[in-house]
Amino acid sequence: MKMLFFLAAFLVAIGILVAVHEFGHYWVAKKLGFKVLRFSIGFGKPLLMRVGKDADRTEYCVAAIPLGGYVKLLDEREGEVSPAELHRSFTRRPVLHRIAVLLAGPAMNLLFASLLYAILAMVGTEIVKPVIGQVRLDSPAAAAGLQRGDEVGLALPHISHGERQSYSCIEHDGIPDGSHGTGEHITDDLGIVGGVPPS
């Protein structure tokens, strides 16, 4: 069940990225006067299709293989084009316009990623604070005076008399209380000092 959930989440994420990417191509092509024949999310046989009501009658599709997509433009290399629409064919548009259409997809992905990061920065992310939940009575943590709710600060390595020392800071009710021990002792015994995280 978990594997199916991750697979579904992966496909949804890919679908969103593809949609954003292809929309970049589509939007710029429309703005610059290209004729868009089809906007498709996915490859292969269309599962859903809607025809636009504008003069171009663009086809909007969701296809069977959701691992990509494409925007199909009018192009005389792929079929006959009526003389009245030759000026809207991809090969007849200015070179800079064609370059803009090709670059619009990656540019839209960059803008989308920047927007997501900006939203995350405004909303914030959840972090786990190093706060002690319980202290066993017969443990080294209890003997050292650690209490429920104490916050463990960052350990900094220091060399003293040829022996590596690790200094840490324990806060009791918000008041720092410095303590230290050898780096090896702290590393090896971290799991058995008697302090466990809050539940």
- Convert 165-191 into a string of H (helix), E (strand) and C (coil): EEEEEEEECCEEEEEEEEHHHHHHHHH
Quote the distance between the C-alpha of residue 121 and its chain's center: 13
d(CA 133, CA 119): 32
Which candidate in 22, 76, 80, 85 is catalytic?
22
User: By three-state DSSP, how is residue 114 classified?
Assistant: helix
171 included as an active-site residue = no
Report yes or no: 73 and 58 within 8 Å, Cβ to Cβ: no
Report yes or no: 131 and 151 within 8 Å, Cβ to Cβ: yes
The one-character DSSP state at 193 is S
171 phi/psi in degrees, rounded to 5: -100, 120
The set of catalytic residues is 22
